[in-house]
Amino acid sequence: MTDSTPHPPVPPQDPRPPQSAQRLPDEAERLRQAMQRVRTEVAKAVVGQDGAVTGLLIALLAGGHVLLEGVPGVAKTLLVRTFSRALGLDTKRVQFTPDLMPGDVSGSLVYDAKTGEFEFREGPVFTNVLLADEINRTPPKTQSALLEAMEERQVSSDGVTRPVPEPFLVAATQNPIEQEGTYTLPEAQLDRFLLKLQIRVPDRESEIGVLQRHAAGFTPRDLDAVSRAVTRDEILAAQQAAASVTATDEVLAYIVDLARATREAASVEVGASPRAATALLAASKAWAWLGGYPAITPDHVQAMITPVWRHRVQLRADAEIEGVTVDAVLTSVQRQTPVPR
């Protein structure tokens, strides 16, 4: 994923288990088909971003969050809006700006003149799907307002802890090329995102399809054609089913070996942490479950390592000057780490 080819950050199609593999129970298969209907509904409005849709599904199943990075005009915001509409969940959008305050995100105490008391007014973080648009346009102080909600699924204010609704997904967008008026996301903030997906310009055929839809009258502001594809209970059940996917000791050791290899790479300043390893495990489980596997394989790990770790591994300054990329390092690590049989 280091070149300019239009390959998505994760495979757009489900992996096919060998015929000898044990299939998941019927209920899990029904839930998996419900998740696939979400992909069908999103395709009614978004063209050429199958990999990103898969990434959002994986994050939802794993209970994680997604950072979408791409130049303006590649449908990052439309993708999240359409995805949340297909889920049928409560959704709120926050346009991050330099003057945004932490209370504008998490909520704040407001004085009620009628009762003479302060009451807590919930911020937009109290939702199922939070679209954090252009998250790098707000200072780290405001970005940190999301940390507790993303990690612990709660907001603490004035000594009171309030849970956010379940399921809970933060989908943040940022522009990688515009630097004026932006703030670099702190490592602690980046680490809360399960996946970082690079949204690229679609291939020629997909781009023609985009223009054909607009020529026929499609407008991104109108998503009436997108229907709810899954219920909240089905989403929660699918999350539990994905978490139940097993992993052998050999595959767990393989994940650890990959993480340790990043720490020992010559061009790396900070390698994958133990939390990054657990994130890779969770994403691999969700990817395996989508394909009908009862256990993860090294192939699932290899498919997820780049989107899960590309924002967690930090390169040495001299390596960046020489043009080394994190994606290239992760590809090299995969090639050099023995794969369990």
pLDDT of 105: 93
> How does DSSP classify residue 12?
S
**pLDDT at residue 326 greater than cutoff 70:** yes
Pair 228, 37: CB distance under 8 Å = no
- Residue 304 inside a domain? The answer is yes
Are 198 and 307 members of one domain?
no
φ, ψ for residue 309, nearest 5 deg: -110, -10
User: Could you tell me where the beta strands, DSSP code E, fall in the chain?
Assistant: 66-69, 91-95, 107-112, 117-122, 129-133, 154-157, 160-163, 169-174, 195-198, 268-270, 314-315
pLDDT of 23: 47
Are 58 and 190 members of one domain?
yes
Q: How would residue 308 be classed by pLDDT, with cut points 50, 70 and 90?
A: very high
pLDDT of 26: 83
The tally of domains found in the chain comes to: 2
Model confidence pLDDT, tens digit, residues 259-270: 999 999 999 999
Question: What integer is the mean pLDDT of 212-227?
Answer: 88
Question: What integer is the mean pLDDT of 168-196?
Answer: 88
Are 80 and 198 members of one domain?
yes
Are 13 and 65 members of one domain?
yes
CA 179, 263, 305, 236 torsion: positive or negative?
Answer: negative
SS3 category, 129: strand
pLDDT of 158: 80
**pLDDT at residue 78 greater than cutoff 50:** yes
Pair 121, 115: CB distance under 8 Å = no
**pLDDT at residue 7 greater than cutoff 80:** no
Out of 39-43, 67-71, 142-146, 278-282, least confident range: 142-146
What's the rounded Cα separation, in Å, for the pair 151 and 153? 6
Q: How would residue 289 be classed by pLDDT, with cut points 50, 70 and 90?
A: very high
pLDDT of 115: 81
- Residue 140 inside a domain? The answer is yes
Q: What is the average pLDDT value for the chain, to the nearest integer?
A: 89
Range of the domain at 305: 245-341
Q: How would residue 183 be classed by pLDDT, with cut points 50, 70 and 90?
A: confident
Q: Report the CATH number that the domain containing residue 276 is assigned in CATH.
A: 1.10.8.80
Return the amino acid letter for 163: P
- Tallying the residues shown for the chain, one arrives at 341
What's the rounded Cα separation, in Å, for the pair 7 and 17? 22
Peptide bond into 167 cis (omega under 30): yes
Tell me the CA distances in angstroms from 130 to 88, 153, 159, 225, 274, one per residue in order.
Answer: 13, 13, 24, 22, 27
Residue carrying the six token digits 């691999």: 284
Boundary of a domain, candidates 215, 236, 259? 215
